Structure 1
Amino acid sequence: MPVRSRQKRERQSDILAAAIEVVAEKGYHQTRISDIADRAGVAYGLVYHYFGAKERVLSAIFESLWERFEERIRRILALEVSCVEKLAEISDYMLDTLIARPDVIKLLVQEIVRAHHIKDLPDLEIVRRIIGLIEDIFREGIEHGELPAESDPRLLSFVYFGAVEMTLTALSTGLYAPGRKVSSRQIKDVRRRLRVFIASGSFGRAPSADRLRELL
Structure 2
Amino acid sequence: MTKENITIAALRLFLLRGYKYVSLVDIAGEAGITKGGIYHYFGSKEEVLCTALHYLFDRFEAKYQELFSCSQGVREILDTVIAEREMERYTYQLLGIRKGDYRLNFAGLILEVIQNFPEIQGRIDRNHALFCQAIETKLKQAMEQGEIRSDLDSHALAILILTMLNGQNSLGEQLNTPLLRKQMMDNLWQLLDRK
Question: TM-score band, normalised by the shorter chain?
Answer: 0.7 to 0.9
Residue type of the partner of 1:39?
E
Which residue of 2 is the match for residue 140 of structure 1? 141
Is the contact between residue 24 and residue 103 of structure 1 (CA under 8 Å) also seen in structure 2?
Answer: no
Give the TM-score of the pair, scaled to structure 2. Answer: 0.76
The reply to whether residue 205 of structure 1 matches residue 193 of structure 2 is: yes
Residue type of the partner of 1:156?
L
1-structure distance, mates of 2:91, 2:4: 21
Q: Helix, strand or coil: the match of 1:169?
A: coil
Which residue of 2 is the match for residue 25 of structure 1? 16
The reply to whether residue 60 of structure 1 matches residue 51 of structure 2 is: yes
Is the contact between residue 55 and residue 118 of structure 1 (CA under 8 Å) also seen in structure 2?
Answer: no
2-structure distance, mates of 1:59, 1:105: 22
Which residue of 2 is the match for residue 34 of structure 1? 25
Gaps of 5+ in 2: 93-97
Q: Helix, strand or coil: the match of 2:171?
A: helix
1-structure distance, mates of 2:171, 2:64: 22
Is the contact between residue 16 and residue 103 of structure 2 (CA under 8 Å) also seen in structure 1?
Answer: no
2-structure distance, mates of 1:159, 1:119: 25
1-structure distance, mates of 2:74, 2:129: 20
Give the TM-score of the pair, scaled to structure 1. Answer: 0.70
The one of 11, 14, 22 equivalent to 2:2 is 11
Deviation at 1:82, TM superposition (A): 2.1
Residues 29-62 of structure 1, C-alpha deviations (whole Å, 9 max, x = no match): 1222222112212122332332332222222222
2-structure distance, mates of 1:151, 1:192: 22
Q: How does 1:161-172 map to 2 (within 5 A)?
A: 161-171=162-172
Kindly tell me: are residues 206 and 145 of structure 1, through their superposed partners in 2, closer, same or farther at Cα, counting changes over 3 Å? closer
Percent pairwise identity: 20
2-structure distance, mates of 1:105, 1:128: 26
Which residue of 1 is the match for residue 62 of structure 2? 71
Is the contact between residue 149 and residue 194 of structure 2 (CA under 8 Å) also seen in structure 1?
Answer: no
Larger Rg: 1
Deviation at 1:206, TM superposition (A): 5.8
Equivalenced residues, count: 185
After superposition, the CA RMSD in angstroms is 3.0
Residue type of the partner of 1:115?
V
Residue type of the partner of 1:200?
Q
Kindly tell me: are residues 25 and 189 of structure 1, through their superposed partners in 2, closer, same or farther at Cα, counting changes over 3 Å? same
Which gives a bigger RCO, structure 1 or 2 (Cα 8 Å, sep 6+)? 2
